[in-house]
Amino acid sequence: KEWTKSQDEWFISTSPAYKLAKSWNVGGTISLRSQFANGATRGSSQIFAPAYLIASVGFTYVCPKEKFPIKINIAPLSLNATFVTSEAVRAYYFAEKGFTDTGGNAVTYDQYIADKSILDRDQRNTPYAFGLTLENGSGRYEGGSSVQIDFDRTFGKKGIFRYRTTLYSFYGWINEAAQQTESRKTGIEYEHIAPTVRWENTVDIKATKYFSTQLYFQLYYNKAQSRKIQTQTVLGVGLSYTFKNK
């Protein structure tokens, strides 16, 4: 019997900044998100398939009030990139999509790689794997602007309750403008880009000295991947101990 994962994600981020004023910074942010293990269904995902890269430059406001620890980042220039580096994963979603040639015959991934003209332009530009199209190859890039709001506060003298939330939104207006220009030249209609939204909420409750409970909720919308709003809820109960230096 094979083991399958229920959740697997890693995330790294760095935000170098220069202080402009008491509550304002200017700088950039680079973050990368992916997973380690293969997907529950063979071939559905691997490390860096998919992977999400965000790079942005902008301004950050940090509220000076201790009881309202909110941070707002406004990035006029931002890059969102999605990678599916594994050819096996791309082949899996190619088969799931069910591409056909002009005669209505099913086309395999190997057939497409051997002769890319076997599919028409519309099919080559149809999202099939985490928002990627066949024309994108192994990576999809969007340029635009983003806003991120972070809030992290601990309540109670002993820190028994902690609430963290991150609201991130990105709009690829640079790609939208490029598509608009191309549409005017060719007369071919295009599908408008919608904002990407990720809202993460985490509640930590330290019931006793050694036991803690965590509730996590995420709302995610990315039109390139799915027209539906995606949600995720995770409840965890475990042991917790803090080591102190005396």
Mean pLDDT of the chain, nearest integer = 91
Report residue 180 as tokens: 């608009």
Instruction: Give the long-range contacts of residues 203-208, CB within 8 A, separation 24 or more.
Output: 203/161, 203/162, 203/163, 204/161, 204/162, 204/163, 204/164, 205/160, 205/161, 206/158, 206/159, 206/160, 206/161, 206/240, 207/160
Report residue 111 as tokens: 């057939």
pLDDT per residue as tens digits for the range 98-141: 999 988 899 999 999 999 999 998 899 889 999 999 999 999 99
Amino acid making up residue 176:
E
pLDDT per residue as tens digits for the range 70-95: 999 999 999 999 999 999 999 999 99
Report residue 76 as tokens: 């006029």
Closest CA to 79 of 10, 160, 141: 141
- Other Cβ atoms less than 10 A from the Cβ of 131: the count is 20
pLDDT of residue 206: 87
Q: How confident is the model at residue 243 (pLDDT cuts 50, 70, 90)?
A: confident
Q: How confident is the model at residue 239 (pLDDT cuts 50, 70, 90)?
A: confident
Contact between 24 and 71 under an 8 Å Cβ cutoff? The reply is no
pLDDT per residue as tens digits for the range 38-56: 887 878 899 999 999 999 9
Through-space distance between the first and last CA atoms of the chain, rounded to whole angstroms: 48
Rounded Cα distance between 237 and 223, Å, is 34
pLDDT of residue 70: 97
pLDDT of residue 119: 94
Mean pLDDT of 167-190: 92
The predicted model scores a pTM of: 0.87
Q: What percent of the chain has pLDDT over 70?
A: 97
pLDDT of residue 146: 98
**How many residues are recorded in the chain?**
246
pLDDT of residue 231: 95
Report residue 26 as tokens: 């200017």
Rounded Cα distance between 9 and 11, Å, is 7
pLDDT per residue as tens digits for the range 138-173: 999 999 999 999 999 999 877 789 999 999 999 999
Closest CA to 131 of 172, 71, 102: 172
Residue 1 has pLDDT above 60, yes or no: no
Rounded Cα distance between 28 and 30, Å, is 7
Higher pLDDT, 57 or 187: 57
